[in-house]
Structure 1
Amino acid sequence: MEYDTYTNGGDLNYRLDNGYTVGQEICIQMAQKHNVGDLWDETVYGYARQCNGPWDYDGESSINNLCCSRGHFVKCEE
């Protein structure tokens, strides 16, 4: 599955080819495209779409939570 390939099994700390972690890439995209700079303790879910159909949950989710502060991926408070 692509989700596993690009996230190393749902790890938001996994480093992508562009040098960012998966979590940082998500925080950047959320801030730039959706004007959402702050998120706390969110689970990231995998969705897939076939042939321009609806997006369907593919049963995958992150193994750690997403926290963004001003568009930067940060460690979630315990």
Structure 2
Amino acid sequence: MAHVKIYSSDFCPYCHRAKALLQARGVTDYEEIVVDGRPEVRAAMAALAGRTSVPQIFIDGRHIGGCDDLHALDARGELLPLLT
């Protein structure tokens, strides 16, 4: 199984939606980094992703993007191959 890292916020519905999709695709163990109240962590995420919004998702070090990007990848049938 691939290593999945997700930068998220506890109050973000898109974060919850992205995590739900990952779980539906069999990802039960992922690294979650919560950025709430941690501006240095959000800044580090922005430096990696080039974006300041959450979620920001990485699979095996590859930046996937946010929730909509993750769902689009899944709709094209490209998510599962990345996860296995």
TM-score (norm 1): 0.29
Q: Which has the larger radius of gyration?
A: 1
Between 1 and 2, higher relative CO (CA 8 Å, sep ≥ 6) is seen in 2
TM-score (norm 2): 0.28
Higher fraction of helix: 2
